[in-house]
Structure 1
Amino acid sequence: MAVESDWQRALLRELGTDAPSRPALEVNVQASEHEPAAPSPSPVQRPTPVPQGPRKAHEVGVTGPAPQSVPIVDPRLLLALGTGQHGDSLTQRAGAGLRHLAASSGQEVAEQTRLAREVQQPVTTGRVIAVTSIRGGVGKSTVSALLGRTFNHYRHDPVLTLEADAALGTLPTRMGAEAVRWSCSDLARILTPAMQLTDVTGYLVPVADGGWLLPASQGRVGAPLDTRTYRTVTLALRRYFGVTVVDCESLPGEVARTAMDTAHVRVVVAPMTAEGVHASRQVLEWLAQLPNAALESTVVVLNTTSSDASLDPKVAAGHLRLPGVPVVLLPYDRHLAQGGPIRADRLSRATRDAAVQLAAESIRRAVSVR
């Protein structure tokens, strides 16, 4: 892999070079003892992010009391989830294991290795990937969380997952955050060019797999995130993070339109329904009218949220596959369907593969944008 650029090295030095590396996640591409040898893209060995704590309010010009930490979800509800279902049933896991042992998987391992290395490729400046959909409830926050966790796992530079949907969004829960404190609006008031990465991360929520999260709210109904705040935060934070994944509000919201217009890459989440695919096609046609060849930097995720989905995936993907726009199929996963924090060790193999493919398609387009 190419050598990281100087700005990335400087950011890593701010975090300290003696911290222990992160444990590997299940999403990593690994070859079993029965597979032919192939170069394996190891999870990145970068320091575990340790929040330093924000500077005192008077040091950064903040007036008024600081927000209090608020739990994301009632702990009793999280206990009710238990350890969570596995994405594949026991029968499916056993069958997949037998097929894996019986078949020659050298080509499969090589493809997985190639995709993982694409996810790891360096960027010269921070890249923003905006995720949205034509309506809520189709898995937009789930896709954002999968993308953020995949980038967190593979990349060497700092990764931020940002929530730009203040309508009681579920991104903090999906990312495994236990509590939130500072929001986008709070951070917009205190960001200054003099702040270092360690100052900024003190206001963010550290994620278990190594990245950071910035929520849009504290989980209460309140004033929606406005376009000016979104622009202020994303423009300021780009210089600290190699990749920022933005979980936008649904279209045609003003913030979502701004995010899609200004992002380096757009990810459109389409549900596996006839009306959902039809509406998502209209979103793609709108993107085609934006400047700077928006379709060339767009990826579609065809999300299967029900085990009873009857729409033909090939027909649906063909309807959404405009010139230059890849379609990534996210299969039904029991672990994702139950809600709550996403655990990489509970995801199905197909879901993990789809997440890596989506990350590779996204970063490939982000790097090509000038």
Structure 2
Amino acid sequence: MSDTNRQDDWQAAVLGELTGNGPAAADVRTPPGGPAATPVRTAAPAGSTDPGPGPGAPQGVGFPGVPESVPVRGGEGGGRDRHGETAGRRVLRSLRGALGGSAARAVAVESGLAARVQQPVTTGRHIVVTSIRGGSGKTTVTALLSRTYNHLRHDPVLTLEADAALGTLPVRLGVESLRWTCADLARIVRPSMQLTDVTGYLVPLPDGGWLLPGSQGRIGAQVDVAAYRTVTVALRRYFGVTVVDCETLPGEVARTALDTAHARVLTTPATAEGLDSTHAVLDWLATLPVPVLPRTVVVLAVQSPHPAVDLARAGERLAATGAGVVVLPYDRHLASGGPVRTALLGEGTRLAAVRLAAEALQRAVALPAAGGAR
């Protein structure tokens, strides 16, 4: 990174606020041996039963009170075997593809979107997914984005959970156990760490990439603003794209995440009430001093086979605000809960996921974040 880009780096200002030492103190490239590289501790105190860093954790970096690995609850059963589309719909689509060029056109469209998802980034991009109410498909959309970026991109991708303690992101991503959390890592992350050190504290995902959970599923263990800022500042240099499953608005972490994100994804159910609430939020965003609507994508999540709203008209109204709009169609596999399995998604859902990933990354790369990131 050039000196100019380093000066424009939004993390420098954020971490400077946390340390009280100004932007210079936030340079995440502090050489090993500097003050920030001092480990928390390298040995347990006399008489302590602390076993030290767990398996896969970096050597030389200690942590008081190493957390135990706990199994993820809620992943049993669910949408494992149910396909997103009915058998009849799949057969009909196959026949149409055999009789015409629709299949070739679909492949061409998806290939063009995939090329946009694979575009290079000069610095790590943060894409924050949030909503204004629960049950809007926020975590499902995060899981879809995570799988899409991990599948199509060639650089490391991080998925970060900044939601309440009982979030379902680990379940949706097919994770079996959790250990280190965002709050844990915020206390031990150091500028001298390499990518291999950092990933020792992360959860490897079945289809590639890593997850940093917000908790181990215990009530009260939530991510606060200080932990969120510390982790996102420190980890940005390791990952080309970070997808954040954020708490719902107007939570404090959600506001902080939206303010510092390169792109924002706002999920809403495709209902009359959901659309009204979304328009209210977009009107509020339009009044902010720094324009954020051009960096926002609204996901209209269809939650029934027969939506009660005109999706085309709703999309046009939302797009008139300057935000992007992607319709996520009803999918039986997603509606079943459990781990999201790409092979079981409907064709329309897969295409919508790639379109959303391309749209969000394009806005994250083409435009600076509200916090001044480049």
| TM-score category, normalised to shorter length | 0.7 to 0.9
2:267 aligned residue: 269
1:22 aligned residue: none
User: Per-residue deviation at 1:73?
Assistant: 1.4
User: Per-residue deviation at 1:155?
Assistant: 0.4
User: Per-residue deviation at 1:317?
Assistant: 1.4
Provide the secondary structure at the position in 1 that maps to 2:110: helix
Runs of 4 or more, structure 1, over 3 Å off, are 80-83, 105-108
Among 162, 169, 175, the alignment partner of 2:173 is 175
Query: Bigger CA drift: 177-186 or 280-289?
Result: 280-289
Residue 82 of structure 2 corresponds to residue 85 of structure 1? yes
- Structure 2 vs 1, CA of residues 269 and 306 (structure 1 numbering), >3 Å: closer, same or farther? same
Provide the secondary structure at the position in 2 that maps to 1:98: helix
Q: Is the 8 A contact 2:79 2:338 kept in 1?
A: no
Residue 92 of structure 2 corresponds to residue 95 of structure 1? yes
Q: How does 1:318-329 map to 2 (within 5 A)?
A: 318-329=316-327
User: Per-residue deviation at 1:118?
Assistant: 0.4
Which one-letter code corresponds to 2:148 in the other structure? T
Residue 320 of structure 2 corresponds to residue 317 of structure 1? no
Q: So what's the TM-score if we normalise by structure 2?
A: 0.81
2:234 aligned residue: 236
1:152 aligned residue: 150
Which one-letter code corresponds to 2:91 in the other structure? A
CA distance in 2, matches of 1:143, 1:113: 21
Larger Rg belongs to: 2
User: Per-residue deviation at 1:55?
Assistant: 2.0
1:226 aligned residue: 224
Q: How does 1:313-352 map to 2 (within 5 A)?
A: 313-352=311-350
User: Per-residue deviation at 1:83?
Assistant: 3.4
Q: Is the 8 A contact 2:156 2:239 kept in 1?
A: yes
Q: Is the 8 A contact 1:160 1:212 kept in 2?
A: yes
Q: How does 1:181-196 map to 2 (within 5 A)?
A: 181-196=179-194
- In the alignment, structure 1 segments of 5+ residues that lack a partner are 1-50
User: Per-residue deviation at 1:71?
Assistant: 0.8
1:129 aligned residue: 127
Q: Is the 8 A contact 2:167 2:217 kept in 1?
A: yes
Query: Bigger CA drift: 313-322 or 187-196?
Result: 313-322
CA distance in 1, matches of 2:312, 2:306: 16
RMSD: 1.6
CA distance in 2, matches of 1:214, 1:352: 24
CA distance in 1, matches of 2:214, 2:343: 27
CA distance in 2, matches of 1:177, 1:167: 16
Q: So what's the TM-score if we normalise by structure 1?
A: 0.82
Q: Is the 8 A contact 1:87 1:334 kept in 2?
A: yes
Among 232, 246, 250, the alignment partner of 1:248 is 246
CA distance in 2, matches of 1:246, 1:176: 17
Q: How does 1:24-35 map to 2 (within 5 A)?
A: none
User: Per-residue deviation at 1:323?
Assistant: 4.0
Q: Is the 8 A contact 1:188 1:232 kept in 2?
A: yes
Deviations 1:94-127 (A, max 9, x none): 0111111112134433222111000000100000
CA distance in 2, matches of 1:61, 1:71: 23
Provide the secondary structure at the position in 2 that maps to 1:67: coil
CA distance in 2, matches of 1:291, 1:277: 24
Among 300, 304, 324, the alignment partner of 2:302 is 304
Provide the secondary structure at the position in 2 that maps to 1:282: helix
Q: Is the 8 A contact 1:52 1:199 kept in 2?
A: no
- Structure 2 vs 1, CA of residues 368 and 52 (structure 1 numbering), >3 Å: closer, same or farther? farther
- Structure 2 vs 1, CA of residues 107 and 52 (structure 1 numbering), >3 Å: closer, same or farther? farther
Say how many residue pairs are matched: 314
Q: Is the 8 A contact 1:287 1:294 kept in 2?
A: yes
1:14 aligned residue: none
Q: Is the 8 A contact 2:166 2:217 kept in 1?
A: yes
Deviations 1:154-189 (A, max 9, x none): 001000010000231010100110011111000000
Q: Is the 8 A contact 1:261 1:290 kept in 2?
A: no
- In the alignment, structure 2 segments of 5+ residues that lack a partner are 1-53, 368-373
User: Per-residue deviation at 1:223?
Assistant: 3.6
Using the aligned pairs only, state the percent identity.
Answer: 60
User: Per-residue deviation at 1:68?
Assistant: 0.6
1:66 aligned residue: 66
CA distance in 2, matches of 1:81, 1:280: 29
User: Per-residue deviation at 1:52?
Assistant: 8.1
Residue 250 of structure 2 corresponds to residue 280 of structure 1? no
